[in-house]
Amino acid sequence: MIEINKIYNEDCLEGLKLLENNSVDLAIYDPPYGNIVKADWDKNENPFTLELINETFRVLKSTGNFYIWCGIGEKSQSLINFFNIMKQSGFYFKDLITWKKQRGIGMRKGWLYTREECLWYVKDNKQFIWNKENQYSEEKRLTSNKHTKYLPKSEYKRITNVWDDISEATTGRQEKQKHLTPKPVEAIERIINLHTQPNDVVLDCFMGSGSTAVACINTNRQYIGFELDETYYNLAQERINNTHIKLN
């Protein structure tokens, strides 16, 4: 029996099979990209399989959204590989989000990589949740043209599919030291706020350092997570405990 607000130190595919149909509101995955960092977990056989995606489709509600972190470059073509796998599933492709980072990595002979990508899918394109009130940034619009007959719906600019307002510096020092590719909690919170309501269930099959769980706690959402690596599982548990302490 899978419980909510809990991370499981086990294979995510086996855990998914224990979840009920249509029981998850949002799924956010950050699978290994392949040979990006010097770690064994990034060199093993890719666990992002069609079987995993089909199980995700089964447990996701018809109003559900699905985000997959990925990358593209000389060392990894996970964006292409993941996209080709997703084409074989029942999910509907919506967009590709680019996260523009402040610092880059790369080879001496080549462009410096300063981005990561995130694929966005929905289970049903006619029913997916999109909270319009959360689609605006903190940047105000320029003074509108007084001659236009169309007034903007908000004084703030809409968030685009290029996220250049979230720095990797928002990830804590401890997470950077203990996990090589943590995602900023702020980025996860943006996705959660756009696609869920309080107490909705968010699924993360590659929990890593626990950013998704922390984002859920911060936004009053519930979570289910899987992390096969015991070291990262323990790190995630530590972050979750610290987050509860801070909030209380």
Q: What is the pLDDT of residues 29-54, one digit of tens each?
A: 999 876 444 445 444 557 899 999 99
**Helix ranges, 91-229 (H):** 173-178, 185-195, 211-218
Indicate whether 162 pLDDT > 90: yes
132-143 in b/e form (b: 16+ CB < 10 A) is: eeebbeeeeeee
pTM: 0.89
Question: Could you state, in order of their start, the residue ranges of all structural domains in the chain?
Answer: 6-141+154-247
Long-range contacts of 227-232 (CB under 8 A, 24+ apart): 227/7, 227/8, 227/9, 228/9, 228/10, 228/11, 228/12, 228/41, 228/47, 229/41, 230/9, 231/178, 232/178, 232/179, 232/207, 232/208
The residue that leads in pLDDT, 171 or 118, is 118
**For 69-108, what is each residue's pLDDT tens digit?**
999 988 789 999 999 999 999 999 999 999 998 777 666 7
Q: Using an 8 Å Cβ cutoff, are 232 and 180 in contact?
A: no
**For 191-210, what is each residue's pLDDT tens digit?**
999 999 999 999 999 999 99
Amino acid identity at 160: T
CB neighbourhood size of 182 (10 A): 22
Amino acid identity at 183: K
Give kind and range of the element (H or E) at residue 119: strand 113-122
Return d(Cα 105, Cα 152) in angstroms, integer.
39
How large is the average pLDDT for residues 221-235? 96
How large is the average pLDDT for residues 166-193? 75
The pLDDT confidence band at residue 171, using thresholds 50, 70 and 90, is low
Instruction: Determine the CATH number of domain 6-141+154-247.
Output: 3.40.50.150
The residue that leads in pLDDT, 44 or 121, is 121
Reference 63, options 139, 121, 122; nearest CA is: 122
Indicate the pairing of strand 201-204 with strand 60-70. unpaired
How large is the average pLDDT for residues 223-248? 93
